[in-house]
Amino acid sequence: MKIKKNDKVTIQTGKDKGKQGVVEKVYPKQNTILVTGLNLYKKHVRKSEQMPKGGIVEVPRPLNISKVGVVCPHCKKTVRIGYQIEAGKKSRICKKCKSII
Ligand SMILES: [Zn+2]
């Protein structure tokens, strides 16, 4: 997984195209991520103690990682990520500005 929790990402396809958000969760097996406040869908909920009237809540739905691009914290652009191995340690690097993400 090239994307990690707390990465800033840009959505590159779908109804939220162009929007940015922060990765809240990653699901490596499914190759999906959950981005706070994005890719929301409306879910009908039944009456419960927390929601005595029931109703509709907006829940973020996981996105496939192929639909997002990571925003480099250094050059502030949506970039491709590469890897660099130095002293046996693997780091992610921004392919544009070459800094470690
Ligand atoms: Zn960069």
Compute, in angstroms, the gap from residue 81 CA to the centroid of ligand 1.
9
99 inside domain: no
Compute, in angstroms, the gap from residue 51 CA to the centroid of ligand 1.
44
Compute, in angstroms, the gap from residue 47 CA to the centroid of ligand 1.
48
Compute, in angstroms, the gap from residue 3 CA to the centroid of ligand 1.
15
Instruction: Judge residue 29's burial from the number of C-beta atoms within 10 Å of its C-beta, 0-12 exposed, 13-18 middle, 19 or more buried.
Output: exposed
Tokens of 70: 């990571």
Q: How far apart are CA 40 and CA 38, in angstroms?
A: 5
Could you tell me how far CA 84 lies from the centroid of its own chain? 22
28 inside domain: yes
Q: What is the pLDDT of residue 53?
A: 85
Model pTM score: 0.82
Compute, in angstroms, the gap from residue 98 CA to the centroid of ligand 1.
6
What is the residue whose two structure tokens read 């990690």? Answer: 4
Domain that includes residue 18, residue range: 8-94
* Torsion (CA) 14, 17, 19, 25 in degrees, nearest 10: 40
Compute, in angstroms, the gap from residue 80 CA to the centroid of ligand 1.
9
Spatial neighbors of 34 by CB under 8 A, at least 6 apart, are 23, 24, 25, 26, 27, 60, 61, 62, 63
CATH code of the domain covering residue 89: 2.30.30.30
Q: What is the pLDDT of residue 52?
A: 87
* Count of domains observed in the chain: 1
Taking the chain (101 residues) in runs of 10, the rounded mean pLDDT of each run is: 93 93 96 94 88 87 95 96 93 95 92
100 inside domain: no
Q: What is the pLDDT of residue 25?
A: 96
